[in-house]
Amino acid sequence: MPEDRNAELRALFFETANELLQSLNESGLELEARPADEEIIRSVRRVVHTLKGDSAACGFTRLSEVAHELEDVLTPQMGKLHGAKFAELVLVAADTFEAVLSAYQRNAEPPGGDHLRGLIRQMQYAPLEPLPDVSSTTVASAAPARFDWSEYEQLMISEAIHRGETVFNIALRVDQASGMRAAAFQLIRNVLHGCGTVIALRPEDNIAAANVEVIEASLATKQSLAQIEQRCRIPSIVAQVWVETAGHADSAEHELLGDLLDAQAAQGHAVVTADNSAANKAGALGSAVAAVAESTLRVDAARIDSVMNLVGELIIGKSMLNRALSEFDQKHSRDPVRAKLVDALSFQARVLDELHKSVLKIRMVPVEQLFRRFPRVVRDVAKHCGKDVALELAGENTDLDKGILDALAEPMTHIVRNSVDHGIESSEDRIAAGKGARGTISLNAFHQGTQVVIEVRDDGHGLDLDLIRKQAVQKGLIKAEEAAKLPDSEVTNLIFEPGFSTASEVTEVSGRGVGMDVVRTVLDRLKGTVNVISVPGKGTTIQLRVPLTLASIQTLLFRVGGRLFAVPISSVVEIARCAGQEIHRVEQREVLRLRDHVLSLVRLNDLKGIHAVEPAKAAKKNFVIVIGAAEKRFGLLVDQLVGEEELVIKALPADIVASDLVSGASILGDGTVVLILNVPAVLSRLSRAIPLGAIA
């Protein structure tokens, strides 16, 4: 196989393997409540079997070997016998597979999975509970089997029937005199495989067969019923054989499958020649999975980004055309061509707007992809801390840009872990406080304007603001007199400072003061904000606000010191004007009384990292852009308002932009470069400089 093709297949394997591991984690959590649920165990077996086959095909033998060993113990009997230990085995397997996959991705030596292999051996050699003995007098002429196949197995049966094969449901009673049931099962399985394609088999492995009297199978074959009966009558092994013809399942899904396969068969028949029609017909039919999967296309994110960049260039081109039309209108306002140009540009703008929305939708994914990893996180941290914690999810269908969603994974993990470790009390403390013994953490997501808000809420004891003040002073983050003046709303923001932690000791979960600092760093990079609301004795809510996408934004343009800046329209609360005598100084800061609120004012020229290219012009009245970030408000003093504009954001290298106050840049139609203001960074700079007592 060519090297580039091999690399492409491996990349696809890693992508699908991560999805399978997430499914394995979810099934493991379900098994904690229902360890003997046959449908869940079959789902786990399918995942492990797929991982085993795909990893072997890619040459990842370590993963394939461990998965093969695990398959032998994934049976309902093992679930009934071991209970919670069986669920723990599945979760340990998910962690082991993830570690092995990570090593393969880094081209490192994969771990051996000794812990998982030890658990497998413990279960293999543990004594099994014998099933109730079935007397030979209960044998009737009717088949003792239910043939209760799963939905997936029924689909495969329907597919085989559409291919023209005969499908038989077979029940075989193992001879009571047969001393080695496992060996008998293996012999029966070999015979069935020799007769055709085994679609379903109960039990599924040798260990479970040790306590089973009747073996059930669904077999797709071209042999007759009599031939099947004759081959299945194995002397001293099989006492009785029942064979019946399987029929179609009566459901809408199976009818749809039949229509799909019939349509494919008809299409295949129309294009094949008489000489090779039989061979090509099978290829035209394909599998049901392939037929359904044709509607889904996996595309590398880089290709979508490339299309988005081209759409961004088209938006800049639209701006250039609009400016050219404005100049044309000024010089040739009565020219009849003007109306045609206006109509053409209007049509182009509508199409471009739809194209832009379509590309954005391609990048949008539901927040569920982020939320589904946290049941396992909550379970593991709660178990480590000895707490009883439930997780509630809401708003999973809220769409968000894939790049932003991936970036939020790490900060969300830190927040959830901290909520379990610091927020939720122990069961004894909760009962003493009049609460339920089980704590609750809620994750919610919803749209708010052009932003997505993600909330992490716990019903714990809330933040200890006095302890936070004390720790901040001890660590030298603020002075004692500043801590005393700091309002409660600002005290909560201290938990995001680097190195800050209220934990009395460092544990595997927390105490190093790293996690929450990561949260603010990532949110700043995403041009988002984080807000903390805490009620003593009731709990804490952490809100993350992020833009729907980082590709383009609606902005308000303004000039300061000769430079052209832009601020997201979603951050603008209002625009006001004020005279010089209305501006006052409070605690070394300029403030403005705006109706019933005192608003802190910011002059961009006074902030480190931004320099004027023209001297400030004296004006009787100044424009003030009131900016809202979470619950905070502040005013930007600007020289001139330019107007609204849709901008395509271009990231700037760190060696070009020396200030964190600029989050990116864009280009207008006339070639002018616009700097996009990083509102969270401005607010953070103000918070670190002087206590924000004057901010409304």
- How many angstroms separate the CA atoms of 423 and 440, rounded? 10
At 145 the pLDDT is: 59
- How many angstroms separate the CA atoms of 579 and 623, rounded? 9
At 391 the pLDDT is: 92
Within 512-596, strands assigned E span 529-535, 539-547, 552-560, 563-568, 572-579, 583-586, 589-594
Of the two residues 405 and 616, the one the predictor is more confident about is 405
At 416 the pLDDT is: 92
Statement: residue 504 has pLDDT above 60: no
| DSSP states of 662-685 | EEEEEE-TTS-EEEEE-HHHHHHH
Selection from 5-14, 177-186, 284-293, 621-630 with the highest mean pLDDT: 621-630
Nearest Cα to Cα of residue 17 among 68, 61, 52: 52
Amino acid at residue number 366 = P
- How many angstroms separate the CA atoms of 562 and 241, rounded? 92
Statement: residue 498 has pLDDT above 50: yes
β-strand partners of 169:
218, 244
CA 352 to the chain's CA centroid: 30
Statement: residue 186 has pLDDT above 60: yes
CA distances for 327 relative to 136, 320, 339, angstroms: 99, 11, 14
At 4 the pLDDT is: 60
Instruction: List, in order, residues 6 or more apart from 161 with CB less than 8 Å away.
Output: 167, 246, 248
Q: Look at phi and psi of residue 403 and say left if phi exceeds 0, alpha if psi is from -120 to 50, else beta.
A: alpha
- Band of pLDDT at residue 513, cut at 50, 70 and 90: very low
At 476 the pLDDT is: 78
Statement: residue 694 has pLDDT above 50: no
pLDDT digits (tens, 9 = 90+) for 681-690: 777 676 655 4
Length of the chain measured in residues: 696
At 521 the pLDDT is: 83
For the chain, give the percent of residues with pLDDT over 90: 7
Of the two residues 47 and 587, the one the predictor is more confident about is 47
- How many angstroms separate the CA atoms of 518 and 514, rounded? 7
- How many angstroms separate the CA atoms of 189 and 208, rounded? 13
pLDDT digits (tens, 9 = 90+) for 113-149: 888 888 888 887 665 444 344 333 333 344 455 677 7
Angle at 595 between CA 591 and CA 598, to 5 degrees: 25
168, burial (CB in 10 Å: exposed 0-12, middle 13-18, buried 19+): buried
Please provide residue 659's backbone torsions phi and psi, each rounded to the nearest 5 degrees.
-120, 140
Give the residue-averaged pLDDT of 651-674: 71
Residue 97 has which token pair?
């597979």
Amino acid at residue number 549 = T
Please provide residue 617's backbone torsions phi and psi, each rounded to the nearest 5 degrees.
-95, 135
- Band of pLDDT at residue 288, cut at 50, 70 and 90: very low
CA 526 to the chain's CA centroid: 17
At 272 the pLDDT is: 40
Please provide residue 560's backbone torsions phi and psi, each rounded to the nearest 5 degrees.
-140, 125
- How many angstroms separate the CA atoms of 603 and 557, rounded? 16
Statement: residue 377 has pLDDT above 50: yes
Q: How many CB atoms lie within 10 A of CB 81?
A: 17
Give the residue-averaged pLDDT of 62-74: 85
- How many angstroms separate the CA atoms of 624 and 573, rounded? 11
Statement: residue 249 has pLDDT above 80: no
Statement: residue 382 has pLDDT above 80: yes
Q: Please give the DSSP secondary-structure letter assigned to residue 129.
A: P
Burial string for 375-387 (b: 16+ CB within 10 Å, else e) reads bbbbbebbeebeb
Of the two residues 147 and 567, the one the predictor is more confident about is 567
- How many angstroms separate the CA atoms of 222 and 245, rounded? 12
Of the two residues 280 and 220, the one the predictor is more confident about is 220
pLDDT digits (tens, 9 = 90+) for 616-647: 666 678 889 998 876 678 888 888 898 888 78
Pick the range with the lowest mean pLDDT from 125-134, 143-152, 413-422, 589-598: 125-134
- Band of pLDDT at residue 441, cut at 50, 70 and 90: very high
CA 626 to the chain's CA centroid: 35
- Band of pLDDT at residue 595, cut at 50, 70 and 90: confident
Nearest Cα to Cα of residue 30 among 22, 183, 328: 22
Within 196-257, strands assigned E span 197-202, 214-221, 238-245
- How many angstroms separate the CA atoms of 490 and 468, rounded? 11
Average pLDDT, the chain: 78
Residue 312 in contact with residue 648, Cβ under 8 Å? Answer: yes
- Band of pLDDT at residue 271, cut at 50, 70 and 90: very low
Pick the range with the lowest mean pLDDT from 44-48, 180-184, 411-415: 180-184
Residue written as token pair 């209007």: 346
Residue written as token pair 């047969």: 178
Statement: residue 457 has pLDDT above 90: yes
- Band of pLDDT at residue 656, cut at 50, 70 and 90: low
